[in-house]
Amino acid sequence: MFDKLFEPIQIRGMELRNRVVMSAMGTHESAESEDGKSVTDKLIAYHVARVKGGNGLNTIEVTSVDAPSAPFGFLSIAEDKYIAGFKKLNDAVHEAGGKTCIQLWQGGLAVASDQTAQILVPNDLPLSPQYTVPAITNERLLDIIDKFGQAAKRAVEAGFDCLEFHCAHNYLPHSMLSGGINHRSDEWGGSFENRKKFPLECIKSIRANMPIDMPLFMRVDCHDDMLDGGLTIEEVIEFCKDAKECGVDVLNISRGNILTAATLYEVAPVDIENGFNVEDAARIRKETGMLTMPCGRINTPEFAEKILEDDKADLVVMARAQLADANFCNKARAGKVNQIRYCIGCNQGCYDSFCASLYNPAIKHITCMRNPGLLEEDTLGLKPGSASKKVVILGGGIAGMEAALDLKETGNTPILFEKSESLGGQFLLAGAISAKKDFKNAVDKMILDVQESGIEVHLNTVVTKEMLEEIKPDALIVAIGSSPFVLPIEGSEKAIVAHDVLSEKVEVLGENVVIIGGGLVGFETAEFLAARQKKVTVLEMKEKALQDLGPLRQITAQFAMAQMPITIETSATVEKIDDHAVVASGKEYPYDSVIMAVGSKANDTSMYTDLGIPTYIVGDCKKAGIALDAFKDAYHAVLEINK
């Protein structure tokens, strides 16, 4: 199955067993090493798990080539002392049957998360009225070129099968290449010929320190978004042709820069279409004649296979897909696609957690909503317990279903009770808008998994103490979720709750709709109604709306709202709901329908806390929050039960 995807490919002296590439993804796991920049055993286990899962090429995350600009929490190969750690990683991956690539990186402005790291930028960059980062000097540019070569030499000694030069995402090589960023007037700036010089010299330096039969990859933006004077695809094609002459073999086609909202394309959330780089990659491939692989929300084997069948690429980047499921490739190759846990582009565990980890020491590394054991493969991997246990689960939302599936996988007997007529809970509402179809697909698939696994399910059932006494479970998992919160204000009975709108249990009358609450649910309700030709006003009491979304989803939400008949009023504290208007901060907002979207409150679980049964409270009934936490709660409850 998926013959193209799992066809071997020869690149110089390296043969890959298939066309699937796990591209570099920052994990922040190196922060747990002695100096905060080294390989750890957890990082090795993480890569080995994906090799054993069938992946073709593992790319090690962005790795600093220059010591003064190497930030904490990112890997470094800027000194000889790092060779041994990478050799240990490579030996483990090779023993498991895989191949490795290291992404050689100079982070430019992105290293600013570490105040001790030197920021290198093409031009003077004011960061505050008191401080301006000076432009990189000519001497330092030459030094960095040499550092790329030295890093390549160390990577070869460490046993990597190929190398990748990072020339995208606003890092120094991309910044020097782009006319939207590089405004120098010396030999390194101005004309495109001058701007190409630095990255091409870096490539030459790397290639000079590699064996002739070792492949060199390059990550490059297909064009610049939202940057005046930025790279066009025509310029990128010209540059890639020059890079080919300098020794680059494979192009890893990406997009994004951290200077503008285009940063959302680097780790694109669910709101961005699947495979958004594929057509540009196909054009670059055709016009350069180079081996090419697109990245960007390619999360199913069917889609990846079609890209290859349509002759639009030579390899396919499937990165977050393998965070969600380390065995993605093996399952796909065996045709067990229904067993794959698919990435849904929520960004909660990967990008959002990575950003938070830079400033919150309590967050050790990235995780994944669909795979709470990510980067804990050896320490917190799901394993059968010493004995099979009968476990009653109350609640058939995502937390309850996750617990049931994990219990079944580890040899237990889960019995799932849901008081409503169907499984899925509030997560079904998350897929109500078309842009989030991956959310709906995920919960639909979980429901199918529960059904096909043979798990005992009871719908329309409220479990009593007497029923539990009769069943005699070994453990109880309570996942009864949360309920919409209604503001205790005058006229609140005139409002309908957002959950009933998204589930289409109620009809929203009239053209003008006022939504109270500008968080995630309020936004999704606004988008849902705007798509149905309603004029929507969102009232948010805080100074900013959408604060419960991650940074990239905030960007896509703002874009969506700007293109729809949606008005957002912030610092608007709702006082009352009259017969025809919502009164907020002294101003009236007329309505035909008014909707309450001010969050949820955890359902009461006190009745289950003193039954003499080991009991685990998980998901929204523990604390109303994000789906990432619900999956994590359920996963850890199963780990405890299996002890």
What integer pLDDT is reported at residue 428 of this predicted model? 80
Rounded to an integer, what distance in angstroms lies between the CA atom of residue 101 and that of residue 500?
Answer: 49
Amino acid at 409: E
No. of H helices and E strands in the chain?
19, 28
State the pTM of this model: 0.95
- As its CATH architecture, domain 390-483+602-641 has 3-Layer(aba) Sandwich (3.40)
What integer pLDDT is reported at residue 87 of this predicted model? 98
In the chain, which residues have pLDDT < 70?
A: 431-435
Rounded to an integer, what distance in angstroms lies between the CA atom of residue 96 and that of residue 90?
Answer: 10
What integer pLDDT is reported at residue 439 of this predicted model? 87
Active-site residue, selected from the candidate residues 171, 589, 591, 635? 171
CATH number for the domain formed by residue range(s) 9-357 = 3.20.20.70
How many C-beta atoms surround the C-beta of residue 3 within 10 A? 10
Candidates 3.40.1710.10, 3.40.50.800, 3.50.50.60, 3.90.1280.10; correct CATH number of 486-598?
A: 3.50.50.60
Rounded to an integer, what distance in angstroms lies between the CA atom of residue 526 and that of residue 137?
Answer: 50
What are the tens digits of pLDDT across the range 349-407? Answer: 999 999 999 999 999 999 999 999 999 999 999 999 889 999 999 999 999 999 999 99
Which residues, 6+ apart, have CB-to-CB distance to 396 below 8 Å? 416, 417, 418, 420, 422, 423, 424, 425, 457, 459
Q: Domain-by-domain residue ranges, the chain?
A: 9-357, 390-483+602-641, 486-598
Cα distances (Å, whole numbers) of residue 51 to 54, 60, 122, 325: 5, 13, 39, 12
388 within 8 A of 616, measured Cβ to Cβ = no
Rounded to an integer, what distance in angstroms lies between the CA atom of residue 350 and that of residue 628?
Answer: 10
Rounded to an integer, what distance in angstroms lies between the CA atom of residue 373 and that of residue 636?
Answer: 9
Backbone angles phi, psi at 266, to 5 degrees: -70, -40
**In terms of DSSP H, where are the helices of 431-579?**
437-452, 465-471, 498-502, 520-530, 551-562
Q: Which of 403, 273, 345, 302 is nearest to 549 (CA)?
A: 345
Name the residue with tokens 């999956």.
Answer: 631
Rounded to an integer, what distance in angstroms lies between the CA atom of residue 382 and that of residue 417?
Answer: 23
What integer pLDDT is reported at residue 435 of this predicted model? 63
- The H-or-E segment that residue 202 falls in is helix 192-207
Rounded to an integer, what distance in angstroms lies between the CA atom of residue 441 and that of residue 427?
Answer: 11
Rounded to an integer, what distance in angstroms lies between the CA atom of residue 232 and that of residue 237?
Answer: 9
Return the structure tokens found at 63.
Answer: 């790795």
Return the structure tokens found at 60.
Answer: 């090690």
How many C-beta atoms surround the C-beta of residue 386 within 10 A? 7
Which residues, 6+ apart, have CB-to-CB distance to 466 below 8 Å? none
The answer to whether domain 9-357 and domain 390-483+602-641 are alike in fold is: no
DSSP 589-617: EE-SEEEE-S-EEEPP-GGGTTSSS-EEE
Q: Measure the CA angle with vertex 305, ends 301 and 310; round to 5°.
A: 155
What integer pLDDT is reported at residue 93 of this predicted model? 98
Q: Which of 279, 93, 284, 352 is nearest to 298 (CA)?
A: 279
46 is catalytic: no
Q: Which of 251, 254, 298 is nearest to 273 (CA)?
A: 298
